[in-house]
Amino acid sequence: MRLNKVDLNLFVVFDAIYMQGNLTRAAEVLCITQPAVSNALARLRLIYDDVLFVRTGKGMVPTPLTENIIAGVQRALHLLSGSLLETQLFDPFTSKKTFKLSMNDMAEAMIMPKLLAQLQQYAPQAGIECCYVPREDIERELAAGTLDIALDAPFVAVGQMQTQALLKQRYACAVRRDHPKIGDSISLDEYLALDHLQVSSRRKGRGYEDVGLNRLGRQRKIKMRVQHYQVAPLLVAQTDMALTVPISMAQNYDLKILELPYSLPALDWNIYWHKSVDQDQANLWLRKLIVSLTL
């Protein structure tokens, strides 16, 4: 079938059903009726000679054919959408756009306060939605437009993703200011003698800060494990535990910050976006703003 014989709006519906997994929610997102969504799906099924989605108790589940073609459809839709946006002027002060970002809670704690202050001054009507998208899903969500920008550790930017080095996170040891055993510096033996607070969403396993210790054949004692970086400094401030975190994050709290007594490579962060929004004025403005906040 020739492309000029196909209603391209059908692919917009196709993408909405895939992202929402439900015909009613797809209709709500597209601001059309559910019968219109059902009709579009029926026409697509004829075009592809495949049911495309199977109704189950968990919603509309994509068939193997749908999984094979969805990435290409999303890229095409995003490129078309991007071409419409490239020529539009973006005025941050009057914009009511809601930017969708992916980052972990460490990045949130370090970047969001600065970003919010800038938005309040230069884009007071704009909004931010922040969540964490697993690395394997970032490209798909950027292509679908459900994400504008992602912040993550460096990985191979395949497909239509664009990336830029953002910052290097140098780690330090943080303890409470009146710690009874630690002065203005810390030796490796003193470091290993302390109880340590580990931040990880996993139930077990070592963290990035253990890389250097592993090379020395040494191991620290993990006294407590928590999921989020924002609560960790509060716990350290009222105990004798030590926390190994990026210096720029530790500086946000009233803690004693010490050079690590062992070598630990800086942790790199990159910013990612989709190629189709490379020249989109709103996305470009936000990227530049985030980069400026992390210099």
Backbone angles phi, psi at 88, to 5 degrees: -85, 135
Amino acid type, 128: I
Q: How confident is the model at residue 122 (pLDDT cuts 50, 70, 90)?
A: very high
The pTM of the full predicted model, rounded to 2 decimals, is 0.64
Residue 153 pLDDT = 82
- Residue 228 is classified by DSSP as -
Residue-averaged pLDDT of the chain: 88
The 3-state DSSP composition of the chain as helix, strand, coil percent (nearest 5) reads 45, 20, 35
Q: What is the pLDDT of residues 133-153, one digit of tens each?
A: 988 888 888 877 889 999 988
Residue pLDDT, tens place only, 234-260: 999 999 999 999 888 888 889 999 999
Q: Report, as an integer, the average pLDDT of 204-227.
A: 89
End-to-end CA distance of the chain: 52
CATH architecture of 3-62: Orthogonal Bundle (1.10)
How large is the average pLDDT for residues 40-63?
92
In this predicted structure, the answer to whether residue 156 has a pLDDT above a threshold of 70 is no
CA distances from 207 to 190, 241, 264, 269 (A): 20, 16, 12, 16
Angle made by CA atoms 70, 71, 76, in degrees to the nearest 5 = 95
**Residue 267 banded pLDDT, cuts 50, 70, 90:** confident
DSSP state letter for 280: -
Q: Encode pLDDT of 219-235 as tens digits.
A: 999 999 998 888 999 99
Which of 85-89, 184-188, 207-211: highest mean pLDDT?
184-188
- Class assignment of domain 98-167+268-293? alpha beta
Residue 70 has pLDDT above 80, yes or no: yes
CA 199, chain centre distance (Å): 18
DSSP string, 62-95: EPHHHHHHHHHHHHHHHHHHHHHHTTS---TTT-
Per-residue pLDDT at 106 exceeds 90 = no
- Write the CATH number of the domain with boundaries 171-265: 3.40.190.10
Matching CATH topology for 3-62 and 171-265?
A: no
Each domain of the chain, given as residue ranges in start order, spans 3-62, 98-167+268-293, 171-265
Question: H helices within the chain, ranges in order?
Answer: 9-20, 23-30, 34-48, 64-85, 105-122, 135-144, 188-193, 211-216, 232-236, 247-250, 281-293
In the prediction, which pLDDT does 191 show? Answer: 96
